[in-house]
Amino acid sequence: MEKPRPDPDALIASLRQAGRGHLKIFLGAAPGVGKTWAMLDAAHTQQQKGVDVVAGLIETHGRAGTAEKLGELEALPRQPVPYRGQSLEEFDLDAALHRHPQLLLVDELAHTNAPGLRHAKRWQDVQELLEAGINVWSTLNVQHLESLNDQVARITGVRVGETLPDTVLDLADEIELIDLPPAELRTRLEEGHIYRPDVALRALDGFFREGNLGALREIALRRAAQRIDRDVASYMRLSAIPGPWPVAEKVLALVGPDLSAQNVVRHAARLADALRAPLVAFHAEGGDDNTRVQAALDLAVQLGGMAVTVNARDLAQAVLDYAAANNITHIVLGRDAARWRPRRRLTESLTRRATAFTLHLVPLPAAPPPLTAAPRPPRNWEPYVLAGVLLGAVTLGGIAAQSYLPQEAMGLIFTGLIAAMASRSGRNAGLFTAIIGFFLWNFFFLPPLYTFSVSDPQDLVALLVFLLVGLLTGTLAGRVRLEAVSSAARVEALRRISLFGQRFSRAATFSDVLRGAAEEAASMTGAGIVLLQGVNGLEMEVCVPAEAVLDEAAQAAAEWCYSHDMETGIGTTTLPSVPWRFLPLHTNGTVTGVLGGRPKTVPPPPLAQTLVTLAGQAAMALERARLAMQTARAQAQEDSQKLRNALLSSLSHDLRTPLTAIRGAAETLAQSGTALAPAIQADLLTSIIEDTARMTKFLSNIMDMARVEAGGLTVRRERLRLAELVEAAIARIPGAQYTGVNIAPDASHVLADPVLLEQVVVNILDNAMKYAPAGSRVAIQAARRGEKVRLAVSDEGVGIPPGELEAVFDSFFRATRGDRVAPGTGLGLAIAKAFTEAMGGSIMAQSPRLDLPADGLPGTIITVELPAA
């Protein structure tokens, strides 16, 4: 006998765990049960064994006993985080990574970090520690699990704000349940061991009521039991131990196309509820799948179970394999389940082979349950007509060639026709061909001819063998066809699911996702629709084709789907007469809309499952688009706030300084004008003029940038003589020294807006003057590059650091050299870039200049590229 081999998936999971840290969670039902105390007690034991233990963060909540329990354990200093005028102390992740102990204690796994830290949640900090190979111990209350948020709120009346995904609990390599009876926990609360006396009194009448604590305790025990069961199953797979190990009760309902399918699910659900056990509805796909199967699987999900569908030829072996691998203890099946597969009596097979399981046989329903699906379509007679025509043609051809063909040859010809019809049109058409061919061969080709009697015993044996072979061939060919159709349907479903993912990953906006979901549903069913919750209830957002509408019954089915979070319409148990199939769209655990399709007939299980997958992926894409819009909106608000702050800062400085100078000069002239020397009066007037020009320039830049930001920039392109425009710009920048203006003959004209281009050159020249020392010179050159003209302004100034070359064109950015910051608003080059790009050109900065001496200042070259004219 072959030795069992470990499960490959279990081996892969074990290898993944090898490269990361070990996580242990001390799980409690409520605050105060002693999770932190138990963690510290176990940590001291590890320290005594020589393990390097560090307390990364321990929350004592003012409890002296917990602080004393910390003892001599090394504690990392907390990281101060400024927040709204106060300083919060948070876990220092970088310090923990640098210290890299063997074991790190991090209290309160569900804690939300202060804004500004690397991760939003503490469990994300722990995840990074584990990836770094550090073993972590942490604490968690069961009410912080996201899936239990609504349940805890209903029990306690308190909505827990800090939650974490249930998958975080799955990351734990070990869970230790810290349990305390409700009465003892309330006593600790009354004695002040958990909260202050005033807070404890309110808590005793609120969250810490004995009934609440009992319910939370049961939830915690269940979660711990589920985890233990999962660990046992993983150990069995990894160690290749054949199951089951009846450590916990599990119920498996076998769902088939028989009349008792839903009755089996209901009985299994009652059994699972009585045993407090998980429920699994198990179905093996086959050619006889019908609406009963899908309705039973839907019912199992509605009753809190899970549905599993497999493809297997040996149903009994598939059931036993799944039950053994998943530690199933109870198998529930209907009495007529033996008819699931001809020639295989499932009940007898399981009774003989399932010796490690408890079998439950559900009696047949007293009356056949009514089918909840739409009326079945009329039978397709085309295959039978085709079979009759082919049989007639073969018979006439055989009669015509009877003198050339032996009578046995006609049996082979009829057998080939049977296989062909079964392969083309299914098992029933093949059986029909076999029966009719049996009578035709007997009547026309076996003596005595034209009678149904047989004179030769050998002919009788041949006739019976032909009938048996024909029936067997038709059945097998039909089954192969059905399995091929089923496989093709699964492949098509996988293909569509892949296309869903690709399409939704490319969808950039909310409307793109809605349109994509509706079009995909329409491609599968003929019509697709998406409804979202609006002011007046469910409102149609998109419909494909556009002329498809919902009548009153369909709208009621969509409303029911939305409000009760279940599928409705054709092929379901709710409002099955409606020709639409509606599926809820889940985002963040709530239903936000409905996806609908209008199939022509009851959707088969592969199509129904594909629609469910489409709804799930559409909901995730909608949530992703919503988050992207929120992120973009937040980023826009942040950028706007930065711009506003920079503008206010610039206004406060660049307006206040010249206004102060103007006011001082004006007051001096007003009070002592006649007493001042003419030179001083002239100097004060010059100061007023210069500061006024400075303010005018500043306000002009602000207005230009406002025009750019508001999109109100109007560009008028015309043929310009570059030399004249440069001379006009130079005239507006007095005091500058130029080495000359060198414009190549083939670069004499450009296509641009004269006002905007002159302002661009002025801003670049002004920037060169700000960052160049007194007496330095500016060079202006223009050259032709293909269809473009490059205008370069070179200075001999302090240059631009390499990391700031791109940033110099940002609004309110001012380059720095040492402690020096040039005066101005930081808008000149930003306006130059906006104007240049509006004219169809580009602008760039280069520093240092390669033509200057290496021991001098680096200098800068600003290059503007515009279309040549």
| DSSP states of 559-626 | HHHHHHTS-EETTSSSSTTSS-EEEEEEETTEEEEEEEE--SSPPPHHHHHHHHHHHHHHHHHHHHHH
* Among 520, 518, 521, 545, residue whose Cα is nearest residue 532: 518
* Domain at 713-867: CATH architecture: 2-Layer Sandwich (3.30)
Is the predicted pLDDT of residue 653 greater than 60, yes or no? Answer: no
User: Mean of the per-residue pLDDT values for the chain?
Assistant: 77
Is the predicted pLDDT of residue 90 greater than 60, yes or no? Answer: yes
pLDDT band at 232 (very low <50, low <70, confident <90, very high): low
Which pair of tokens denotes residue 516? 């994509």
Q: What is the CATH code of the structural domain delimited by 509-630?
A: 3.30.450.40
Is the predicted pLDDT of residue 647 greater than 60, yes or no? Answer: no
Question: Region 797-818: what's the mean pLDDT?
Answer: 70
Instruction: Give the angle 783-784-785 at the CA atoms, nearest 5°.
Output: 120
* Among 253, 272, 273, residue whose Cα is nearest residue 263: 253
Q: Lowest-pLDDT range, 381-390, 478-487, 531-540, 639-648? A: 639-648
Helices and strands in the chain, H and E counts: 26, 27
Which pair of tokens denotes residue 593? 């809309």
For 454, which DSSP code? -
Is the predicted pLDDT of residue 552 greater than 50, yes or no? Answer: yes
Phi, psi of 567 (to 5 degrees): -70, 145
Question: Region 444-457: what's the mean pLDDT?
Answer: 71
Is the predicted pLDDT of residue 280 greater than 80, yes or no? Answer: yes
* % of the chain surpassing 90 pLDDT: 3
- CATH 3.40.50.300 is the classification of domain 251-362: no
Is the predicted pLDDT of residue 127 greater than 60, yes or no? Answer: yes
pLDDT tens-digit readout, 244-269? 555 678 899 988 877 778 888 889 98
Distance between CA atoms of 733 and 313, rounded to whole angstroms? 90
* Among 461, 445, 443, residue whose Cα is nearest residue 453: 443
pLDDT tens-digit readout, 844-854? 888 888 777 77
Please, are residues 342 and 230 in contact by the beta-carbon 8 Å criterion?
Answer: no
Question: Region 212-216: what's the mean pLDDT?
Answer: 77
The pTM assigned to this predicted structure is 0.42
Please, are residues 193 and 69 in contact by the beta-carbon 8 Å criterion?
Answer: no
* Among 700, 834, 699, residue whose Cα is nearest residue 757: 834
pLDDT band at 137 (very low <50, low <70, confident <90, very high): very high
pLDDT band at 371 (very low <50, low <70, confident <90, very high): very low
Please, are residues 531 and 562 in contact by the beta-carbon 8 Å criterion?
Answer: yes
pLDDT tens-digit readout, 42-76? 999 998 999 999 998 888 877 777 788 888 888 89
Phi, psi of 59 (to 5 degrees): -90, 110
Q: Lowest-pLDDT range, 216-225, 276-285, 652-661? A: 652-661
Q: To which H or E segment does residue 191 belong?
A: none
pLDDT recorded at residue 372? 44
Q: What is the CATH code of the structural domain delimited by 8-238?
A: 3.40.50.300
* Among 141, 169, 168, residue whose Cα is nearest residue 156: 141
